[in-house]
Amino acid sequence: MTPIISARGLTKRYGRTVAVDRIDLEIPPGRIVGLIGPNGAGKTSALKAILGLATFDGQLSVMGKDPSRDRAALMEDVCFIADVAVLPRWIRVWQLIDVTEKIHRGFSRETCMEYLAQTKITMDHKVKQLSKGMVAQLHLALVMAIDVKLLVLDEPTLGLDILYRKQFYTSLLNDYFDEQRTILITTHQVEEVEHILTDLIFIQDGKIALNTSMEDVESRYTELMVRPENVEQARNLKPLYERELFGRHIFLYDSVGREQLKTLGELHTPSVADLFVATMKGGKS
């Protein structure tokens, strides 16, 4: 199966600063991948290289194309939602829909109208009359109505209220995603996306700190809430990370058998947020 994104030694420098440091990466089609990292980790630089918006060193192929040379052809099968929607302030919504329909052959007016029907946006609204959240809703409706193979979402729900954020991710999973499409998401709101992700990539200091599937997260990582008398015994099993909550010690383990752990306390599968903190602070894979 040909990967949607394939990188070997992908590197991006800004002067003496290395933003992306020799990344090797393969993303197959039909996956929803969360690219998670702290500010300044290299997420945006990696996305810019993938989208043909920045030069890079190393090898990078997106749907079999070099994004730096074949960006125009690549964009026929790629859509991108940035964390800040940039739309002409003077244009009316109906005009924007008309323009989008003429530019993108895969655009569905019917689908766009279905998304907009879930908002308070009208056809006669000008962009400058819309709140920041409504502009984001409009941008999402336009892009989600375009049939592409790769959808890149960079903080897609920034500025939206919690009700629309939940509605957006439900629509993304139920109405948009299928086995022919791949979605790459960067967000700081990891709790809101973990239920839709198939794969996780953590990036730290320009390097891949973790690259795994959500199925592997469930089988590989275990969180243990320890009884007080078992704390030292739990520490001896070399946890990836330890934290304290309301006087209880919580340990996160990588590839330690649950049978070995269950006698020490209460077992859980860690959340993506907890795994992220453990990977950033406690160890790397």
pLDDT at 135 over 90: no
DSSP 41: S
Band of the pLDDT at 83, cuts 50, 70, 90? low
Q: Please give the tally of structural domains in the chain.
A: 2
Give 213-228 pLDDT, tens digit per residue: 999 999 999 999 998 8
pLDDT at 285 over 70: no
Band of the pLDDT at 284, cuts 50, 70, 90? very low
Helix ranges (H only) for the chain are: 43-50, 71-74, 93-103, 109-116, 132-144, 162-171, 190-193, 214-220, 231-235, 258-261, 272-281
Assess whether 111 and 179 both reside in one domain: yes
273: domain range? Answer: 216-281
What pLDDT does 84 receive? 62
What pLDDT does 282 receive? 67
Last residue of a domain, one of 205, 226, 251: 205
Instruction: For the chain, give the mean pLDDT.
Output: 90
Structure tokens at 241: 């990370």
CA distances from 187 to 68, 83, 151, 180, 274 (A): 25, 9, 14, 23, 15
pLDDT higher at 261 or 170: 261
At residue 106, φ and ψ (nearest 5 deg) are -90, 10
Give 93-108 pLDDT, tens digit per residue: 999 999 999 988 889 9
Q: Is residue 48 part of a domain?
A: yes
Last residue of a domain, one of 205, 235, 259: 205
